[in-house]
Amino acid sequence: MDANAAKLLGAGLAAIGMGIAALGVGNVFAAFLEGALRNPGAADGQQGRLFIGFAGAELLGLLAFVTMIILVFVA
Amino acid sequence: MTYVTNGNLAVAAEGGKIDPMHQFLIEPVLGRPWIVGGYDLSFTNSALWMVITLVALWLFMLGGMKRELVPSRWQAAVEGFTGFVQNMLISNVGPEGKRFVPYVFSLFMFILFANVLGLMPVGIVPGWHPFTITSHLTVTGVLAIISFSIVLIVGFGKHGFHFFSLFVPHGTPLPMIPLIFVVELLSFLVRPFSLGLRLFVAMTAGHILLKVLAAFVINGINLGPGYIAIVSLPSFVLMIGITLLELLVAAIQAYVFALLTSVYLNDAVNLH
């Protein structure tokens, strides 16, 4: 296979990772809302943890993006 | 003809080739570099936008630091931010967290202002190019290293070599201690990278997305009325939505950076 074509294919495959990270971020907020609606009194105290979970899930999607950018522009 | 939108100077109309990375180019403001003794000391657009961020932040704080008994609206806004950061530190670190309010507040406000100023539509003025300083790993990396250094200094200064007990949680079975120690040490050492990388990539990704969509709008306009209807208009509507999302991301990333810094400070102050 042509090296350039392989690079672009790899970048496209890396984009799948961003989609899956989107599922993860959705999952974080869905679980938070589910819990928060059952016990609204405890919800405000957990917002810090919500954003830590969000940041963790988002970071993995962003790493897929970095892989993509490196494949297209650097490698 | 150049088409300007969302603070991003889009590609020139006649080109048609999408070049989303050009906006991140660091170049001397005055046109040519200023070399002193082999070192490039030019005043770059990155430095210019750092100064603009600093001035904006300074003006914002100056208007709100009058210490009136009955706060004006401006003072209420500034107190809202300081109170927000102080609450974050107290709930994460405890009463000792108040010592770190000045640092975390500066960090939060600088990142927030830098992110939001990078989204401002200053590209409308011909010849002006907006620049997001947080879209460079050198800037966010240094911010992350400062945070990490403070964690190390506070941790070792307060607990001495007892700080290493951070890497062995309570109740770890004896045979597992070497393995857990290595895993915890790795997860600790990777923190500055993930901290800096997250902010840098989130900003870069958003600006690339906006630039690509802006290029779709231009190229569609150049191709004729049919393309305007099916390409340019939907892209433009999407850009408006994405811009709002980017404003949210700009605030969330500043918040996450400050929040993770305070969580890491909690480890250093209270161990486990």
Distance separating alpha carbons of residues B113 and B56, to the nearest angstrom: 8
Q: What is the pLDDT of residues B165-206, one digit of tens each?
A: 888 888 888 888 889 999 999 999 999 999 999 999 999 989
Residue B9 in this model has a pLDDT that exceeds 80: no
Cα–Cα separations (whole angstroms), residue B222 to B13, B226, B227, B232: 7, 10, 8, 10
Phi, psi values for residue B150, rounded to 5°: -65, -40
Shortest distance between the Cα of B251 and any Cα of chain A, in A, equals: 12
How sure is the predictor about B3, in pLDDT bands with cuts at 50, 70 and 90? Answer: very low
> Is residue A69 within 8 angstroms of chain B, CB to CB?
yes
Architecture of domain A3-74: Up-down Bundle (1.20)
Q: What is the pLDDT of residues A43-62, one digit of tens each?
A: 888 888 898 899 888 888 88
Q: What is the pLDDT of residues B211-263, one digit of tens each?
A: 888 888 988 999 888 889 899 999 999 999 999 999 999 999 999 999 999 99
Q: What is the Cβ-side half-sphere exposure of residue A50, based on CA atoms within 13 angstroms?
A: 18
> Is residue A52 within 8 angstroms of chain B, CB to CB?
yes
Name residue, tokens 């605030």. Answer: B251
Please state the ipTM of this predicted complex: 0.80
Higher per-residue confidence, A72 vs B108? B108
Q: At what angle do helices B101-119 and B45-64 cross, to 10 degrees?
A: 120
How sure is the predictor about B16, in pLDDT bands with cuts at 50, 70 and 90? Answer: low
* Chain B residues closer than 8 Å to A58 by CB: 198, 202
User: Residue B219: which of B205, B208, B235 has the closest Cα?
Assistant: B235
Shortest distance between the Cα of A68 and any Cα of chain B, in A, equals: 11
Distance separating alpha carbons of residues B220 and B251, to the nearest angstrom: 32
Residue B11 in this model has a pLDDT that exceeds 50: no
From the candidates A67, A69, A72, which should be mutated to test the interface with B, based on the most B CB atoms within 10 A?
Answer: A69
pTM for the complete prediction? 0.86
Contact across the interface for B259 and A73, Cβ inside 8 Å: no
Contacts 24+ apart (CB under 8 A), B123-129: B123/B4, B123/B5, B123/B6, B123/B7, B123/B8, B123/B9, B124/B4, B126/B2, B129/B9, B129/B23, B129/B45
* Chain B residues closer than 8 Å to A11 by CB: none
- Residue B30 is given by DSSP the state T
Name residue, tokens 């800037």. Answer: B139
Beta strands B35-36 and B4-5 are unpaired
Distance separating alpha carbons of residues B272 and B266, to the nearest angstrom: 9
- Which of B29-43, B229-243, B257-271 has the lowest average pLDDT? B29-43
